[in-house]
Structure 1
Amino acid sequence: MPRLSEVIAALETLWPAERAESWDAVGTVAGDPDQEVTRVLFAVDPVQEIVDEAVKLGADLLITHHPLYLRGTTTVAATHFKGRVVHTLIKNDIALHVAHTNADTADPGVSDALAGALDLRVTGPLVPDPADPEGRRGLGRLCALDHPLTVREFAARAAERLPATAQGIRVAGDPEALVRTVAVSGGSGDSLFDHVRAAGADAFLTADLRHHPVSEARAHSPLALLDAAHWATEWPWCELAASQLDEISDRHGWDLRVHVSKTVTDPWTAHAASATSDPLGAPN
């Protein structure tokens, strides 16, 4: 079986830490480099529920997309929920490794996995990485549909293909407008509106869209906006990343057992639909 240091070295070839944003906190958070790794769990969030799942599974390594400590801390005392996560990991000899913005821009990365879940054909990055001479890395993805769909039909596809959450899919735009090209970005994407408009996409699917940026974006162009839950847009990456580690394990003869958590860690737990409106339509 490989040591943790060997597995981490392999993961660094997929998501080099130096490609993370300067504000980000990626890499190994906990773990002994010499410990053996036999079982790995992928998840979006390093929350207690996921760590407890890793303990129950008997995992030696937990790999998450979101950092545990994005900002600095002066304590890992178990009196705080993040401290309890650290204590649980160490007590059970579970290492934690984070791939965040370095996985967002990777080739393939978070938005490739999102596009794959929606059965979209990726044509290139939305915001290319200038350090990539091949022009394949970058933030977000531009995609094409095999055949045009209405906004209503594309929203229904997204609701069906992405993991179910309380939010579902919110839509801004004409439900009957035709969609041929789509921009996607896993996670929060309303800072990318200028790039989406410049690319000429018919629709943009992302998460965490806010009132004023959406209102202004709709005033600029007929671009349709689809807002999914943050967790749901990033969870497909877990399956992609697990398959990548499986391939590395097979190549090295490591015989790792790689799992993907299906636990929904989206913080929103319920949705009460308005009684005065018709989904994807006008008020009654």
Structure 2
Amino acid sequence: MATMATTGRKLIAQMERLSPPVLAMEKDRIGLQVGDPEAEVKGVLLALDVTEAVVDEAIALGANWIIAHHAVIFRPLGDLRRDRPAGRLFAKLLKHDIQVYVAHTNFDSATGGVNDVLAQKLGLTETDVLIPVHRETYKKLVVTIPKDHHDAVLQAICKAGAGWIGNYSHCTFNLEGTGTFRPEEGTDPYIGEQGQLERVGEVRLETIVPTTIQTRVVSALIKAHPYEEVAYDLYPLDLEGAVQGLGRVGRLDQTLSLSHLANQVKKAYGLSHLRFVGNPDVRVQTVAVLGGAGGRYWPEAKRLGADVYITGDIDHHTAMDAREAGVCLIDPGHHVEYLALESLRQQLSEMNTEKEITIQVSTIETSPFSFV
């Protein structure tokens, strides 16, 4: 049997599940920037930046969706002339019907996103968020289900994201009872007949739902529930979830000299060089890391007890200020964010277990810098 085509909206929903928009910094350019959300997904190319070379790679691979970390539309466009770089780029995207979706600071903050990957590659443990962006809130979902559909509904809402407490999934409470209703004129009841009071063995199911995904969970509930009119309740809870946000602060398994750690960063991130600030012989163990350009956050890294802060695009004055405040810095460059693309590929592939689409990481080097 042929599998149903994956639509752009399905792919976008998957991306928003992995990198919820609520995790993006204010005014960040994220989401679908070029193309049609209804376009069938024939192939996906994951890239840090969208350049003409990346677009050519997508065309050669038959990928009509590019998921990028950096926005292809970041600054206002003054024109779209085809004799200029931006005009050529967008003309090629539109001519070849290639859609561009962007996950930027929301992918930085997301579980399994940029900063988790950078921290994991350094072997950091006991990690916490460096810059809080969002704290999840929860609601309790209560619904009654006829016994013969109980498991189907339970599985559907849990698949949609309900019922997670820490690392435990499918956390629900279920109580059997009797439901009553009388279908009136104009109804098409799953059970019973119009005008007659019905008594049905039902199960009352209670579970927890993150507020940010309640729409998705309720949609899955209604789709799986057999009743024409589904009765359910959502109650706000005082319970708060874990903080999510930019950067990570964690510990190495042993103290190292700053120079030793700098060399470990080079190896872990596959770099030929990097810059660092501080006494090469100073001992460090608590490490903060933030992918991209995070120099302005060094005071927060210091406040959280970091011996060294790893981030890209550190300017001269930031380096001077941090050094005078006793904070060591390591600058591996902005481009190391590309290391998270493989994690994203794996996560998206797990969501497409039927192999409906091919998901690949770009092999194009988009860093603008060369070194001598």
Secondary structure of the 1:135 match is strand
More strand by share: 2
Counterpart in 1 of 2:33?
29
Give the counterpart of 1:146 among 235, 241, 253. Answer: 253
Residue 230 in 1 paired to residue 334 in 2? yes
The separation in 2 between residues aligned to 1:164 and 1:123, in whole angstroms, is 24
Counterpart in 2 of 1:203?
308
Number of aligned residues: 265
> In the TM superposition, what whole-angstrom CA distance separates every residue of 1:6-62 from its partner, at most 9, and x where no partner exists?
111111122233432232211111222332213211111111121111112211211
8 Å contact from structure 1 (residues 150, 176) kept in 2: yes
What CA RMSD, in Å, does the superposition of the two structures yield over aligned residues?
1.7
Give the counterpart of 2:360 among 249, 255, 259. Answer: 259
| Identity over aligned pairs, percent | 34
Residue 239 in 1 paired to residue 342 in 2? yes
> In the TM superposition, what whole-angstrom CA distance separates every residue of 1:197-248 from its partner, at most 9, and x where no partner exists?
1011111111001111111111112x2210111112x111211211111111
Secondary structure of the 1:82 match is helix
Counterpart in 2 of 1:193?
298
Counterpart in 2 of 1:97?
101
Residue 176 in 1 paired to residue 281 in 2? yes
> In the TM superposition, what whole-angstrom CA distance separates every residue of 1:176-208 from its partner, at most 9, and x where no partner exists?
222211000000111101101101111111100
The separation in 2 between residues aligned to 1:122 and 1:156, in whole angstroms, is 22
Secondary structure of the 1:256 match is coil
The separation in 1 between residues aligned to 2:32 and 2:61, in whole angstroms, is 20
Give the counterpart of 1:63 among 54, 67, 76. Answer: 67
The separation in 2 between residues aligned to 1:64 and 1:163, in whole angstroms, is 21
The separation in 2 between residues aligned to 1:83 and 1:135, in whole angstroms, is 43
8 Å contact from structure 1 (residues 125, 135) kept in 2: no
Structure-2 change in CA distance of 1:51 and 1:122 (3 Å): farther
Work out which of the two has the higher radius of gyration on C-alpha atoms and give 1 or 2: 2
Counterpart in 1 of 2:214?
none
> What is the one-letter code of the residue matched to 2:309?
F
How much does 1:95 deviate? 1.1
- Gaps of at least 5 residues in structure 1 are 272-284
**Structure 2-normalised TM-score?**
0.67
Instruction: Map 1:112-123 onto structure 2 (within 5 A).
Output: 112-121=116-125, 123=127
Instruction: Map 1:127-166 onto structure 2 (within 5 A).
Output: 127-132=131-136, 133-164=240-271
Structure-2 change in CA distance of 1:174 and 1:194 (3 Å): same
Give the counterpart of 2:352 among 227, 249, 263. Answer: 249
The separation in 2 between residues aligned to 1:137 and 1:89, in whole angstroms, is 34
The separation in 2 between residues aligned to 1:122 and 1:111, in whole angstroms, is 14
8 Å contact from structure 1 (residues 62, 95) kept in 2: yes
The separation in 2 between residues aligned to 1:262 and 1:117, in whole angstroms, is 20
Instruction: Single out whichever of 189-198 and 52-61 deviates more from structure 2.
Output: 52-61
The separation in 2 between residues aligned to 1:185 and 1:131, in whole angstroms, is 19
Counterpart in 1 of 2:152?
none
Structure-2 change in CA distance of 1:54 and 1:46 (3 Å): same
Give the counterpart of 1:10 among 11, 14, 19. Answer: 14
The separation in 2 between residues aligned to 1:88 and 1:104, in whole angstroms, is 28
The separation in 1 between residues aligned to 2:249 and 2:23, in whole angstroms, is 21
How much does 1:159 deviate? 0.9
The separation in 2 between residues aligned to 1:130 and 1:6, in whole angstroms, is 24
The separation in 1 between residues aligned to 2:37 and 2:298, in whole angstroms, is 42
> What is the one-letter code of the residue matched to 2:269?
L
Structure-2 change in CA distance of 1:119 and 1:263 (3 Å): farther
Counterpart in 1 of 2:85?
81
The separation in 1 between residues aligned to 2:128 and 2:245, in whole angstroms, is 9
> In the TM superposition, what whole-angstrom CA distance separates every residue of 1:54-96 from its partner, at most 9, and x where no partner exists?
1122112111100011122253332331222211112222211
How much does 1:254 deviate? 4.6
> What is the one-letter code of the residue matched to 1:94?
I
**Structure 1-normalised TM-score?**
0.87
